[in-house]
Structures are given as structure tokens and as C-alpha cells.
Structure 1
Amino acid sequence: MDQRISFVTLAVRDLDASRAFYLDGLGWAAELDVPGEVLMIRVGELVVLSLWAERGFEAEVGPIRRGPGLAPMTLAHNVATREEVDAVLALARAAGADPVSEPEEREWGGYTGYFADPDGFRWEVAQNPGPIGSSVLP
């Protein structure tokens, strides 16, 4: 098996709200858009973010665990500068994102902040000055 991820699939409660947030708010473009079912957005050369309506997700994958707390995962968008971190967080908040945390200097040397999309999935916006951080920049 090749060491790679092709799709990141998230089950969303309201696909229309997710579409408005990602396409209209963040200015991203749909690769595939099937209203009421799925929205797919190319987020890397070989990576697609797939947002499925919950019902279709559960039909294929199985029941979704519901309840208090957060999904035990984050998505990350790395940028080259601290100013870009601030700008991306401002854009997300203008698009209606929940401003989870203000950006701050991290103990490991980076600068990051978080926002939540309409379903509460946490996005980290990060400037990571280390080699691994630089390796994921376009």
C-alpha cells in the first residue's frame, strides 16, 4: 500500500451550510457537487475533502456517534507567515466560522490559531517554521 491519503471524508449535518461556508465563504471550488448528497473539494494535488450528508455517510459507513465533546481530530492549513495565519483566520470568521482560539506562539516554535466549520470540525491555521511545516507548503 502506498503511504498517502486520497480522501478526507467528513459527515455533515447540513450540506447546504457546509457548501455556503467552504465555497462562498472561503472561496474554494467544488470538484464534485451533488446537492443533498456530497460535496467534494480538491485540497491538494492528490487529496480531496469529501463532505457527505450524514444520512448517506451512515448508510455506507455505519452509525455516527453523537453526543457532547469534539470529534477527536483536527484538519490543518499551513501557511508560510504569521500574517497569513491572521488573514486566513479572519477570512474564516468572516465566512461564519466559530472563532475557537486566537492565534498564539506555540511552545514548539510555531504560530497557530483555530476555527470551527459549521459542523464544529476544528481547523488549525499554522505557520510551522520547521522542516515538516515547510514540506507541506505549495
Structure 2
Amino acid sequence: MKQIILPAGLLFLGSIAIGQGRNDKEMEQRITFITLGVNDINASIDFYENKFGWKRSAQGSDDLIVFELCGLYLALYPKNALAHDAGVDAVGQGFRGFTISYNVRSVQEVDDLIAVLKSRGVHVVKEPQKVFWGGYSSYIGDPDGNLWEIAYNPYLKHE
């Protein structure tokens, strides 16, 4: 049953996302769902709920934890089960080739948020600093080594 939940959920979300017409050749520019394969679901729940302060969505289950994020969903799912679902090997270490960014509205907000996360025991990979593209950012790691950039981007439109 556990391995059926994720594919069924993705199928459901995929059916919602098809609203652009069957004959279109291009995808809409959007992302709906990001699922992180995690080694220890309880450690990841602790990180996202107690370090970030996020609240779980009722859409999840015991082994599929979902957070609603302003029009995007972030899910946590056991790494081995997610790899099995995708038909790939779960083994792999080091940089994963992507980061997730959390953008704030000022340089001071980056500094303040990093200070709070440090006080909660979050591993800071890169201290806040001015960056080559004109912004200001820092990187933190979650329990599985996924990199989160905490950034101020002066060119980004905020809601």
C-alpha cells in the first residue's frame, strides 16, 4: 500500500496539471510538486517542522509528508521507495546538481533568518555574503544534504 500512495498522488496531481489542452506541444512554465527522497523521515519531519516552522498538509500519509508552499507542494518520501518508484538506484552522494531557494525581501532578512536557523541547530554550508549576480545569499543543508539557498534577490518581484 505504501508504494501505491506516491504514484497515485502524482497521477492525481498530474491530472490536475493537464488543463492546457491535449494537443499543445509545450509545457506551461510552472512546477507543482517537488518530492525529496529522505533517508530518515522522522529527522526530516523534525527539520522542516521544528527548524523551519512549517506545518504539514493533511494531504500526506505516514510516509509521504506534504507541505503546501504558496502554490507549490514540497513532499518528503523515503529515499529508497522514491528511487524504486522512479526505477533508479538510490545510491549516490555529494552535490545533487540542484538547490532550492527561499527568497526574502532584504539583506537583513537573510542575516536574521540564518541566525535563527543556526540557533535551531541547522548546518550552515555557506555564510551569508554578497554574490556575483548582485544579490546576497547563504546556503544551509537539510538532514539529507539537500541545499537550500536563503537569498535576497534585488531583481525578483515579490508578491
Using the size of structure 2 for normalisation, the TM-score is: 0.76
Among 50, 53, 77, the residue aligned to 2:75: 50
Query: 2:42 aligned with 1:16, yes or no?
Result: yes
Deviation at 1:2, TM superposition (A): 2.2
Q: CA RMSD in A?
A: 1.5
Structure 2 counterpart of 1:26, which letter?
F
Among 71, 74, 79, the residue aligned to 2:96: 71
Deviation at 1:13, TM superposition (A): 0.3
Larger radius of gyration: 2
Q: Which has the higher contact order (CA 8 A, sep 6+)?
A: 1
Of stretches 91-100 and 114-123 in structure 1, the one that deviates more from structure 2 is: 91-100
Q: Is the 8 A contact 1:25 1:94 kept in 2?
A: no
Among 97, 100, 103, the residue aligned to 2:125: 100
Secondary structure (helix, strand or coil) at the match of 1:57 reads helix
Return closer, same or farther for 1:41/1:82 CA change in 2, 3 Å cut-off.
same
Q: Which residue of 2 aligns with 1:34?
A: 61
Return closer, same or farther for 1:89/1:64 CA change in 2, 3 Å cut-off.
farther
Q: Is the 8 A contact 2:79 2:90 kept in 1?
A: no
Identity of aligned residues (%): 34
Of stretches 55-64 and 121-130 in structure 1, the one that deviates more from structure 2 is: 55-64
Deviation at 1:66, TM superposition (A): 2.5
Runs of 4+ in 1 over 4 A off after TM superposition: none
Report the count of equivalent residues: 132
Unaligned runs of 5+ in 2: 1-26
Alpha-carbon distance between aligned partners in 2 of 1:64 and 1:77, rounded to the nearest angstrom: 29
